[in-house]
């Protein structure tokens, strides 16, 4: 024999069904306490929200203090937003998201992500790579010359090659590692490197340089870098360069295009466009300050 609980409720058969009891295990006499607790929680959340907005307003005022143009104010706030949302972007870059634009996640381990965030990431990664391959490359040791060569590479990437897109700068790191091995052991000797180790290193370098650009470049340079990056991606999709994987490596369609995508494209929102839409750059300075501070304070 079966019962339809909805018909029992509607027919008034003596069963006093209370949805709070069924769903949460509470009865009517607890309602007052629940309402009190709920309202207390709401007040607490409201206080926390007000405090966070107060802190954000204080931060914004400090950021724009002394700035004498709408453009400078806009850049200061935008850079702050990009930095605040950086970890969220890194997460999407690592693991992807349900949205189509995040389908090309890089899948970097937490260990390598933590290294990528370090200012000395390139030095750490190269040093660790050769330390882990000591059994194969015994003659490559951390001599003073070895250390100076890595430091020169890092300096060159940050100066001579700073206008190159991240993908190309990562290629210079890869070539540097290969050349160290080839100089000691001859042509093709770099093929003895563990494929996964090299893949992890290059992924971490790629993330590191993306983080570096967002932190260090002004908005104009960041926009220009993003434009060059996306132009390269578009060209690669339209006419992929020939790529012949060596033994034990799988061919991946549009591999270069997916690895060329920048971290800037993995932010959940286009904050740059949002700020431009939410604020009128033709406003007088004081009014513009108020408008952009208000946007920043209420940013989710």
Q: What is the pLDDT of residues 64-104, one digit of tens each?
A: 999 999 999 999 999 999 999 999 999 988 886 544 444 56
pLDDT given for residue 149 in this prediction: 96
The pLDDT of residue 251: 55
Residue 272's pLDDT band (cuts 50, 70, 90) = confident
Of 300, 211, 274, 228, give the one whose Cα is nearest residue 74: 274
Q: How far apart, in whole angstroms, are the C-alpha atoms of residue 224 and residue 220?
A: 6
Structural domain contains residue 185? yes
- Residues of 56-88 as b/e, b for ≥16 C-beta within 10 angstroms? beebbeebbeebeebeebbbbbbbbbbeebbee
Decide if 63 is inside a domain: no
Expressed as residue numbers, the domain containing 172 is 86-267
Say whether pTM exceeds 0.85.
Answer: no
Q: How confident is the model at residue 20 (pLDDT cuts 50, 70, 90)?
A: very low
User: First CA to last CA across the chain, in angstroms?
Assistant: 53
Reply yes or no on whether the pLDDT at 285 is more than 70: yes
At a CB cut-off of 8 Å and minimum separation 6, what does 100 contact?
Answer: none
Q: What does the mean pLDDT of the chain come to?
A: 82
Instruction: Report the range out of 15-24, 107-116, 256-265, 272-281 with the highest average pLDDT.
Output: 107-116
How many other CB atoms are there within 10 angstroms of residue 203's CB atom? 21
Backbone phi, psi, residue 238, to 5°: -70, -45
> Domain total for the chain?
1
* 275 part of a folded domain: no
Please report whether residue 181 resides in a domain: yes
Lowest mean pLDDT among 25-39, 106-120, 123-137: 25-39
Position 158 in a domain = yes
Token representation of residue 232: 């390269």
Q: Does residue 258 lie in a domain region?
A: yes
Domain presence at residue 18 = no
8 Å CB contact between 3 and 15? no
Q: Is residue 188 part of a domain?
A: yes
Q: What is the pLDDT of residue 105?
A: 66
Residues 94/108, Cβ–Cβ less than 8 Å:
yes
């Amino acid at each position: 024999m079966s019962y339809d609980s909805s018909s029992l409720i509607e027919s008034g058969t003596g069963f006093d069904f209370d949805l709070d009891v069924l769903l949460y295990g509470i009865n009517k006499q607890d309602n007052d306490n629940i309402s009190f607790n709920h309202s207390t929680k709401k007040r607490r959340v409201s206080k926390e929200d007000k405090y966070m907005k107060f802190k954000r307003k204080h931060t914004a005022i400090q950021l724009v203090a002394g700035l004498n143009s709408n453009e400078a104010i806009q850049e200061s706030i935008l850079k702050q937003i990009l930095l605040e949302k950086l970890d969220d972007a890194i997460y999407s870059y690592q693991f992807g998201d349900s949205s189509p634009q995040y389908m090309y996640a890089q899948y970097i381990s937490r260990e390598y992500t933590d290294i990528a965030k370090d200012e000395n990431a390139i030095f750490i990664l190269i040093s660790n790579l050769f330390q882990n391959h000591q059994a194969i490359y015994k003659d490559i040791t951390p001599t003073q010359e070895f250390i100076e060569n890595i430091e020169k590479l890092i300096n060159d990437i940050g100066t001579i090659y700073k206008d190159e897109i991240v993908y190309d700068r990562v290629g210079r790191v890869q070539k540097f590692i290969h050349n160290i091995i080839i100089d000691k052991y001859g042509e093709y000797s770099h093929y003895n490197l563990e494929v996964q180790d090299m893949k992890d290193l290059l992924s971490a370098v790629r993330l590191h340089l993306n983080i570096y650009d967002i932190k260090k470049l002004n908005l104009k340079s960041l926009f220009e870098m993003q434009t060059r990056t996306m132009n390269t991606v578009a060209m690669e999709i339209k006419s992929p360069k020939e790529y012949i994987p060596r033994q034990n490596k799988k061919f991946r369609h549009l591999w270069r295009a997916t690895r060329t995508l920048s971290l800037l494209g993995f932010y959940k929102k286009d904050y740059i466009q949002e700020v431009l839409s939410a604020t009128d750059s033709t406003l007088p300075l004081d009014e513009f300050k108020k408008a952009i501070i208000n946007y920043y304070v209420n940013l989710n």
